[in-house]
Amino acid sequence: MVKEGFNPFHMAQAQFDKVADLLELDEATRDFLRNPMREYTFTIPVRMDDGTMKVFRGFRVQHNDSRGPCKGGIRFHPQETIDTVRALSMWMTWKCAVVDIPLGGGKGGVICDPHNLSAHEQEQICRGWIRQLAKNIGPLSDVPAPDVMTNAQHMLWMLDEYEHIHGAKYPGFITGKPVGMGGSLGRTEATGYGVVYTLREALKQLNIKTADTVASVQGFGNVAQYAIRLYNQLGGKVICVACWDQSDQKSYSFRKLDGINVDSLLSITDRFGGIDKNKAREMGYEILDGGAWLEQDVDILIPAALEHQITEENVNKIGKRVKVIVEGANGPTTPEADKVIAARNIFVIPDFLANAGGVTCSYFEQVQCNMNYYWEKDEVLSKLDTKMTAAFLAVSELARKKKLYMRDAAYVISVGRVAQACKDRGWV
């Protein structure tokens, strides 16, 4: 998904280059890490429900597997591009390394719009994606997962196709499966909860009580919904959420100054995280333009929709009261906006740390599949909390010690670990 003139892969590389300088990496290591190890682009022909054939484009990028099998989601999106997938696969490498799980980075996608596809057509795309890649992915090499506009059902179709091709059961081949079919309890909550575990620790360090804070959120999908739920449980209040309106092809912000209610909003939200604005108005929400979520008088901003949302153009609209930005989405903040945020001394919990709960729980799912023994939800979430908190503390301590911006500190830890693994293997 790329906005005109914006290339997320160039942004990921620019972020990497900055850290490569900080770490004084040699030329070969830089060259190796700023590019994916392997990329696959392919076609997926599908017989549509009306009998016609349509050809979709699919991608898989394996950025780095020095620390373990590649891991990363598959997105279905009409504006998907190879450069978005490259960027996201690179961010997955750093994400797995920052939470110190034994996995590398990968990402996949298909250019398609599930809004306009029947379940049967989506199943054919899933099976076609696997048929094109079955030899190049697997539980010991590259493990996919759901991402934007893909879910447990898509993963199950993909698993089924993979097992059909290989003639055996491989529950650890893919994560994000339905619970009871090899999925892990807690996976649905994991990313959003992980965002809030790190936020809770940041607020502790800033000596701010969560119950005294107010937040504004971009997105009302999986990550945002569970982040808001846990933040509410800790006493925080969300006054604004923004989401995409499919019929108007634009985004809106929904504001309720006495606090949004997740359950009632969910009753008027479609499965893509889009809120019905007429019903929301009836419920007492103010409907504002899509960018308004960023300009609210709040302590905390949680971008949890898409990349490239806080940019040079709008960064100065961030409210004066904002103290923490916790990035639920991947790549929501551009390097130019980062400079302004750093200068304002806003505490940033960078994407690949804040939203690492999803991949951490996916790793737990793989572990459970390999053992064929499944944990209770509380056990999963408590292990998740331990991992996320440890990762946050390591990053914030380095940031404090070396006086680094939080994003740079997270990068120093993760790029350092991956570069070391590549060196130890004799790759660079």
Give the binding site for ligand NAD (CB under 6 A).
Answer: 147-149, 191, 218-224, 242-244, 251, 272-274, 290, 304-306, 328-330, 355, 358
Task: Please state the closest distance from residue 167 (CB atom) to ligand NAD, in A.
Answer: 30
Are 357 and 197 in contact by the 8 Å Cβ rule? The answer is yes
Least separation in angstroms between CB 48 and ligand NAD? 23
- Catalytic site residue 71? no
Nearer to ligand NAD by Cβ, of 237 and 308: the residue is 308
CA 278/CA 309 separation, integer angstroms: 25
At closest approach, how far in Å is the CB of 428 from ligand NAD? 28
> Which residue, 122 or 191, is less far from ligand NAD as judged by CB?
191
Nearer to ligand NAD, 273 or 422 (CB): 273
CA-based nearest residue to 153, from 184, 128, 179, 134? 179
Q: Which residues pair with 74 in a beta bridge?
A: 108, 146
Instruction: Report the distance separating Cα 156 and Cα 97, nearest Å.
Output: 27
CA atoms within 13 A on the CB side of 180: 1
**Cβ 11 to ligand NAD shortest distance, Å:** 13
By C-beta, is 172 or 274 nearer to ligand NAD? 274
> Shortest CA distance to 142 belongs to which of 172, 182, 166?
172
The alpha-carbon radius of gyration of the chain (Å, integer) is 21
Question: 3-state class of 51 per DSSP?
Answer: coil
What is the closest distance, in whole angstroms, from the C-beta atom of residue 330 to ligand NAD in the complex?
4
Q: Which of 18, 54, 95, 107 is catalytic?
A: 107
Whole-number Å distance between alpha carbons of 88 and 111: 15
In this complex, which beta carbon is closest to ligand NAD, that of residue 166 or of residue 250? 250
Percentages helix, strand, coil for the chain (3-state, rounded to 5) are 45, 20, 35
Phi, psi of 61 (to 5 degrees): -120, 130
Element (H, E) at 111: strand 104-111
**Residues with Cβ < 8 Å from 83, sequence gap 6 or more?**
2, 7, 8, 9, 10
State the pairing for strand pair 38-47/53-64: antiparallel
Q: Which residue number is nearest to ligand NAD in terms of Cβ?
A: 221
CA 74 – CA 343 distance, rounded (Å): 35
Q: Shortest gap between Cβ of 352 and ligand NAD (angstroms)?
A: 9
Measured from the CB of residue 343, what is the shortest distance to ligand NAD in angstroms? 25
Question: What is the sign, positive or negative, of the torsion defined by CA atoms of 388, 62, 155, 147?
Answer: positive
Q: How far is the CB of 96 from ligand NAD (least distance, A)?
A: 12
Type of residue at 229: R
Q: Which residue, chain included where needed, has tokens 């940031």?
A: 399
141: tokens are 């090499």
The number of helices, as runs of H, and strands, as runs of E, in the chain is 14, 12
What is the H or E stretch that residue 94 is in?
helix 82-98
Nearer to ligand NAD, 13 or 84 (CB): 84
If the CB atoms of residues 95 and 200 are measured against ligand NAD, the closer one turns out to be: 95
Catalytic site residues? 107
